[in-house]
Amino acid sequence: MKKLVLASFLFLLLLTSCKDNKISEEQSKKDLELREKELVLKQKELELKEKELENKNSTPAEGNNSSGGANNFPDLTSVRLSKTDLENRDPWELRIMRNEIYARHGYIFKLPELKEHFMMQSWYVPMKEDVTSLLTPLEKENIELIKRYEEYIGSQYSKYSR
C-alpha cells in the first residue's frame, strides 16, 4: 500500500513538473517573440534616422536652429517664450513647438504624425513613455503658454470654419 501511495505521489509530482516546464517554455517563446519585435522596430527607427541624415547631407542647409528644421523655433527649453514667439504660427507649428519640449527629453510619441515628425529630427532619441518629472519650471511655463495660444487660435479657426 505504501508503495502505491508513493508511486502515485511521484507520478503527480512528475506531471506537475512537466506542466510547469510547458508553461515556462511558452512564456520564454512569448518573451523571445516580443524581443524580436522590439529589435525589428528599433531597426526601422534606425533606418528612418539614416534616411533623414542622408537627406540632410544631400540638401542644402536650411539654417541652424534648435529644432533641426526650417521652423526657426526659439530654444524652447531655455528661453521663456513670449506672445511674439507664437504670433503668426499655424496650429501645426504650435503643436510641434509644444511637443518639441517633450521630445527633447526623449518622449516616445504614440500619435503617428508626431512620431513621424520627430523621427525626422537628428537630435531626437525616443527613450521614455513619461517625461513630465523631467520638465523644468520654465518648460512647463512654455508648454502652458503654447497650449493657451493653441486654444485661442483654435477658437479663431472655428469661427470661420462654417
Most distant CA atoms of the chain, gap in Å:
93
pLDDT of residue 64: 34
Q: How many domains does the chain have?
A: 1
Mean pLDDT value across the chain: 78
User: What would the pLDDT profile of 7-64 be if each residue is shown by its tens digit?
Assistant: 777 776 666 666 666 677 788 888 888 787 777 677 777 776 666 566 555 433 333 3
pLDDT of residue 71: 53
> What's the rounded mean pLDDT across residues 130-159?
88
Instruction: Tell me which amino acid residue 10 is.
Output: L
Domain that holds residue 119: 2-159
> What's the rounded mean pLDDT across residues 112-141?
96
pLDDT of residue 60: 36
The C-alpha cell at 145 is 503658454
What b/e sequence results for 125-149 when a residue is b if at least 16 CB atoms lie within 10 Å of its CB, and e otherwise?
A: eeeeeebeeebeeebeebbebbeeb
> What's the rounded mean pLDDT across residues 88-101?
93
* Residue percentage of the chain with pLDDT more than 70: 67
> What's the rounded mean pLDDT across residues 60-73?
43
The C-alpha cell at 19 is 506542466
